[in-house]
Amino acid sequence: MEEIGEFIIEYAGRMGAEYAEARVQADLREAIIFKNGILEAYTFEEVKGIGIRVLVDGSLGFASTNKLRKDEVKRVLNRAFKMAKASSKLIKHKISMGRGDLGSDKVIIKPRISFTSIDPEARISLLKEADEEIINSASALNVKVPARIMEMNTWVTEKLIKTSDGANIYSVTPRVALFALITLFHPQRGSIQRYINLGECGGWETAERWNISRIFSEETSALSRVLMEATKPPAGEMDVVLGPELVGISCHESCGHPSEADRILGREAAQAGETYLKPNSIGLKIGSKHVNIVDDPTVRGSFGFYLYDDEGVKARRRVLVKEGVINEFLHNRETASVFNVESNGSSRAVAYNREPIIRMANTFFLPGNYSKEELFEDIREGIYIKSFMEWNIDDRRFNQRYVGLEAYRIENGEIKEPIKSPVLEITTIGLWSAVDAAAKDLEFQAAYCGKGDPMQGIPVWTGGPHIRLRRVRIGGGGIES
């Protein structure tokens, strides 16, 4: 890796690049797809190649290849230079790389149990047991499970980043992820579906610690109860307690994405869209004083973990919203230059053949001072939404909808019967302004965040504590028929 990385920087410099960045990346991955109790596929692969960025006359060029040879590097660099030069006539504002705390370091996360020491049978048996738990837990409540699909991925990302201005970062990061979609069915009550996403940075010990069978059993029992017992939710204005899963996705969608500086500048306008925030929105009040939202790549073991970003800039916690006020945007070196600030290390690429762009890492609502019980205590009538299935937000990140999956009615401070598909359809300011309390707990949820063209689904955590919303409107009944 070192030799080819050096060659790229040296050759790009000889060609006259104002800036050059070489990323040599190998993702060694194993995956199992398990459907309805049967192994559908066992896959393994090594995705290895080079991603290069160069600045030529203020025009940015990216090139990738999976042939790690010097003649190939020359070939793709020559093309990238030609493309960047041809495009420079369509550039009025020259791109430059701004300030950043560039590192020279090695970050090697050593798994306690290496993936290579785990044979296919051990991986498969973990999912087989979980699958049996789903069936058993559902049948205890007279519910059928006509379909379930699970995919478990383990992979190690080995990466070398070198830049012409001195960054030099070598990292090795193992990750484990489990995705599942479960369908529960009852002939008279219809069906209900649930996504389960688990993901962390770590070795096989992570998968063992999760206790997947227990998670699936608990989820299936709770959802079977929702399927069999849920009633129509109350409608109208009411107090609502959101669980960490809802809080996490809301932070990600209506706070994290809008704070991406490239989006603020319009770079994603034709794909993932723009944002309600403007370059001068620092200091804008979007919520109550109880709202504190951060994005932090440095959380050990997190799915979005890194200590240096893909431009070699040292990572740190970013306080996006402080006491309800927009505090900081997510920057890479390009946007740092435009905003005349220092990059806060938000540049990420999902594979060698993807351009590094501004991404979230682990976005979460900071815990408050209340116990979880206290949030419920003074609610006379309201609802508690613990998990969700359907969600979306408009491309300015202001109009969002979350449809509850596991949800309950609250009466006089107590959690009562399950309710079916309560709809929280709300503006970003409406949502965050309604927060009057946050609990002390903190939970995270794994996700793949989509952005970029070509698309890059990148590992993140979303999370937070339980929070309470006062007087928000619940649509009621999910889809109207």
Partner 1 sequence: MRVEEIPTYIVNLGRKYSATDVAAKLVESQRVMIRFSNNEVTVSKVFRETTIDVFIMVEKHRAVTTISTLSIKDIEKNVKNLVKTAKMTPPADVYAPLPRGPFTYNPELLRAPEVPLDPEILSSYVEGAISAALESGAKRAAGTLNAFKSKIILATSGDVHASQESAGLELSIRAFVSDVATGHFISIACRPEDFNPEEAGRVAGEIAKAADNPMPGKPGKYMTLLGPMIFADFINQVGVLSSAFLVDAGQSFLVDKIGEEIASRKLTLLDDPTLVGSIGSRAFDDEGVPARRKAIIENGILKTYLHNSMTAKKFGVETTGNAGIIVPTPWNLIVEPGNKSFEDLLSQIDDGIYVTNNWYLRYQNYRTGDFSTLPRDGMFKVKRGEIVSSIGELRISDNMLRILQNIIDLGRSRTWVRWWEVELPSLVPHALISEINFTKPLI
Q: Which of residues 318-377 bind partner 1 (CB under 8 A)?
A: 353, 355
Answer yes or no: are the C-beta atoms of 63 and 80 closer than 8 Å: yes
Considering only CA atoms, which of 343, 452, 453 is closest in space to residue 97?
343
Query: Between residue 427 and residue 456, which ones bind partner 1 under the rule CB under 8 A?
Result: 427, 430, 434, 453-455
First to last CA, the chain: 59
Give the separation between CA 252 and CA 258, rounded to whole angstroms.
9
Closer to partner 1 at the Cβ: 44 or 214? 44
Closer to partner 1 at the Cβ: 6 or 72? 72
Query: Between residue 47 and residue 76, which ones bind partner 1 under the rule CB under 8 A?
Result: 47-49, 59-67, 72, 75-76
Helix H or strand E segment including 429: helix 428-433
Binding of partner 1 by 124 (CB under 8 A): yes
Query: Between residue 164 and residue 183, which ones bind partner 1 under the rule CB under 8 A?
Result: 181, 183
What angle, rounded to 10 degrees, do the helices at 70-87 and 2-15 form?
40
Binding of partner 1 by 307 (CB under 8 A): no
Binding of partner 1 by 120 (CB under 8 A): yes
Indicate which single residue of 14, 71, 93, 340 sits in contact with partner 1 (rule: CB under 8 A): 93
Give the separation between CA 209 and CA 19, rounded to whole angstroms.
44
Answer yes or no: are the C-beta atoms of 345 and 339 closer than 8 Å: no
Binding of partner 1 by 126 (CB under 8 A): no
CA dihedral 370, 376, 382, 384 (to 10 degrees): 80
Binding of partner 1 by 479 (CB under 8 A): yes
Query: Between residue 141 and residue 160, which ones bind partner 1 under the rule CB under 8 A?
Result: 146-149
Closer to partner 1 at the Cβ: 290 or 420? 420
Helix intervals (H) in 340-435: 372-377, 428-433
Query: Between residue 384 and residue 413, which ones bind partner 1 under the rule CB under 8 A?
Result: 389-396, 399-401, 403
Strands (DSSP E) along 204-251, which ranges? 236-242
Give the separation between CA 121 and CA 114, rounded to whole angstroms.
15
Residue 277's alpha-carbon distances to 256, 432, 462, in angstroms, are 11, 15, 21
Closer to partner 1 at the Cβ: 196 or 307? 196
Site map (CB under 8 A) of partner 1, residues 260-299, x = contact = -----xxxxxxxxxx-------------------------
Closer to partner 1 at the Cβ: 133 or 355? 355
Residues that contact partner 1, how many (by CB under 8 A): 98
Q: Which residues contact 348 (CB under 8 A, 6 or more apart)?
A: 306, 309, 310, 356, 357, 358, 359, 361, 456, 458
Closer to partner 1 at the Cβ: 153 or 183? 183
Nearest 5 degrees, angle CA 249-CA 148-CA 214? 70
Query: Between residue 9 and residue 38, which ones bind partner 1 under the rule CB under 8 A?
Result: 33, 35-36, 38
Question: In whole angstroms, how close is the CB of 181 to partner 1 at the nearest point?
Answer: 6
Give the separation between CA 267 and CA 145, rounded to whole angstroms.
44
Question: In whole angstroms, how close is the CB of 113 to partner 1 at the nearest point?
Answer: 18
Closer to partner 1 at the Cβ: 384 or 402? 402
Binding of partner 1 by 480 (CB under 8 A): yes
Indicate which single residue of 44, 70, 166, 316 sits in contact with partner 1 (rule: CB under 8 A): 44
Closer to partner 1 at the Cβ: 136 or 399? 399
Closer to partner 1 at the Cβ: 64 or 302? 64
Answer yes or no: are the C-beta atoms of 437 and 468 closer than 8 Å: yes
